[in-house]
Chains A and B, each alone.
Chain A
């Protein structure tokens, strides 16, 4: 149980294009999903928290117009990197928690998406 999928796993795109990444909870309902980014040799850094049916909450320093997050259902959240540039090249990974929520709640992660912007 508690499986999260993420697609695509790899994407290479040209500078200036937009890229959409999907995160799905396959066997549970997730009112909250999280998007992280990881640069080489660094820790997973939270970009935004996404609640179903409401606007995402972005961490300080993350441009909300650059990284569009949509959480339209209890099983799907999407991250769109708009007008991608080489500095957006990174590893992006999502996670989800079940509807019960709580500060001790375990997050379940997708396998991540590696983005390379040429």
Chain B
């Protein structure tokens, strides 16, 4: 994998459903993986930063896991609510070159009431 990829591109879920989506990133020279939540017309909100293989982070009903050896991270939302509707972005940074984020295209989540 040369780029950061996210799947699915978009999804609709019913209120109360749990859901998850994937971020795939280059595993070579990996340093950190960031997740953001981005609501329309607002600033992207930082959710998690993870660096170690096997890391798990949790914030309320949202959690994330990290596998640096195979180059993927999962974001889970338990009991989705309409206010969870947003685009979820991931970005990776590497140990090589200058510090910068490489973003995926995001997963657009719509939670239906």
Contacts and interface: CB of A to CB of B under 8 A. Distances in A.
B105 A104 contact: no
Interface residues of A, number: 26
B43 A46 contact: no
A30 to B, nearest CB: 14
Interface string A94-118: 0000000111111111111000000
A44 interface: yes
A4 interface: yes
Interface string A72-102: 0000000000000000000000000000011
A102 B49 CA distance: 13
Interface residues of B, number: 25
B64 interface: no
Interface in A1-17: 2-4, 9
Interface of A: 2-4, 9, 34, 36, 41-46, 49, 57, 101-112
